[in-house]
Chains A and B, each alone.
Chain A
């Protein structure tokens, strides 16, 4: 079965640079979520989209933005990167009618040097 696909798998950036993370949800899933997980920490919710509209917003810095496109893929744009942005970034998708079960992609490991 198709899973959530994220790219790139690893990303190395320097401070103040920008980064774009991509997420392709499971086909027919209508909701996409972005989570950030620091070392040894639980995943922290950043933002979500339902049917290409932002549906919820969590602890996402103003330096970050995201959108969902007509093909349902989503991109997380991160600017003015800081050392503290180094983390695993997960995308998850769900189908609204299946009782909120989220399926996660493999994640993007972002390292800011």
Chain B
């Protein structure tokens, strides 16, 4: 079992809809969670981070964290074609220093 798991997708949503991306992690002691967006052949770009249970909103993005259930999700409202990318969930594991452990990513396709 991977330490950070995501559905690889592709997840297809129509333009203007809400895209929901999910991530589960195995280390119950993890405290720091990140969402990165990566376009093909490009570097990961940090779009959200969350440390506390609950929701955190930033523009069209909302990160949700539930430590009891060990999942973190990313909601993208009013999805645009430019949101089409791979979304990587990343976690700092207990005893892992400050390095990020990534999930395999979910490919999102926003269709016109």
Contact surface of A with B, Cβ cutoff 8 Å: 31, 33, 41-43, 45, 48, 50, 55-56, 58, 88, 90, 94, 96, 99-107, 109
Contacts and interface: CB of A to CB of B under 8 A. Distances in A.
A102 B101 CA distance: 12
Given A42-B88, A99-B49, A106 B99 contact: no
Interface stretch (B11-19, B37-45, B59-67, B72-80): B37-45
A100 B32 contact: yes
A94 B51 CA distance: 17
Given A48-B99, A56-B97, A101 B49 contact: yes
B32 A104 contact: no
The B interface is mostly helix, strand or loop, or mixed, namely: loop
Interface residues of B, number: 23
B17 to A, nearest CB: 26
A103 B101 contact: no
B103 A42 contact: yes
B98 A48 contact: yes
